[in-house]
Amino acid sequence: MLASGGRPVVGIQGGHVDSIPRARRHTLRRGVGACLTAALASCLALVAFASAQGGSGDAQSITITANAGAATVTGADGLRPGPAQVTLRVAGKQDQSVFLIRLRPGVEVEDVLRYVRRHSDLVPVNLVSIETFTSMGPGQTSRTAITLVPGRYVAVGEGDRTTGLGRYATFDVGGAPTGGTLPRADASIQMFDYGFRIPKKIDGDGVLRVDNIGRNEHFIAGIRLNPGVNPAVVRRQLIAGADFQGPPPGEFVQIIGVVSPGTSNVLDVDLKPGVYLVACFYADRASAGHEHSDFGMVRQMTVR
């Protein structure tokens, strides 16, 4: 969605999240990309993770369900380092943010809770790695394939009224690596500081790999431009931070929510054909509070 007369804004100011409209603030607890919730179902489909394992029936798989500010996890017993399919679900009657974070070495859950209590509007990126993150409506599901590394993980499901991390769930990953690799992808997008390496054309119903190879957190919001809209003009507006005048230039979709440096997500995408602009509106201390799009993190691509 786009606020009438406004530009799309999903950013983090030193870890602080702004969403549409600019005056309305969403913290990590409310979910980065919450403004794109309505479009998510048309953007993400199911990942055929088993194909990466040669059809193996013993591929690791976990499910995180968010409901009324609580997260539950199934399939997390005995997880080992290596590829895993992560299914994110929203139950109940409210929009939820569903995300999986990994505690950095030496960090305990209480450290994160203490930070959140003191800095309720800040993302503790120095304490956690955000492995995957999305916002969805009731009954929606998305799946991603990621590589688990040893450590403690925290699954979180939060709505607008959730306090702290809500009723979170933890699990540990350890033992001997499983081997194997992430699913093969038809195309890949790399996010870095501050830009994208992206194919000019991708298949709308293919498998997409998204890697954050930068040193900061990033996400990808897409705009499927309306017929007749000049992508060069919209790109300049996004980089300049200018407000759109008149109706929105296109349909907004979420391709991936905020993820940390060094992460890889493999998604089956279901994108409508057309000309897209992809952008990252994240902002952090490293960018001195400027949205990454201000530095040119906006690219054009064609979905066929």
> Domains in the chain and their CATH numbers?
11-25+183-303 (2.60.40.420), 49-173 (2.60.40)
Q: 11-13 and 16-18: which strand pairing?
A: antiparallel
Residue type, 154: V
- The CA-atom distances, in angstroms, between 195 and each of 14, 95, 294 are 19, 30, 11
pLDDT in tens, 127-163: 999 999 998 899 999 999 999 999 999 999 988 778 7
Percentage of residues in the chain having pLDDT higher than 70: 80
Closest CA to 125 of 8, 273, 240, 283: 283
- Could you give the CA distance from residue 163 to residue 27 in angstroms, rounded to a whole number? 11
pLDDT tens digits along 181-202: 999 999 999 999 999 999 989 9
Q: Give the pLDDT of residue 31.
A: 34
Those residues whose C-beta lies under 8 Å from the C-beta of residue 131, and which sit 6 or more positions away, are 86, 99, 100, 101, 102, 146, 153, 259, 260, 263
pLDDT digit string (tens) for 28-53? 323 333 334 333 333 333 333 333 33
| Confidence at residue 65, expressed as pLDDT on a 0 to 100 scale | 97
The dihedral built from the CA positions of residue 145, 19, 231 and 40, taken in this order, carries a sign that is positive
Kindly report the pTM of this predicted structure: 0.80
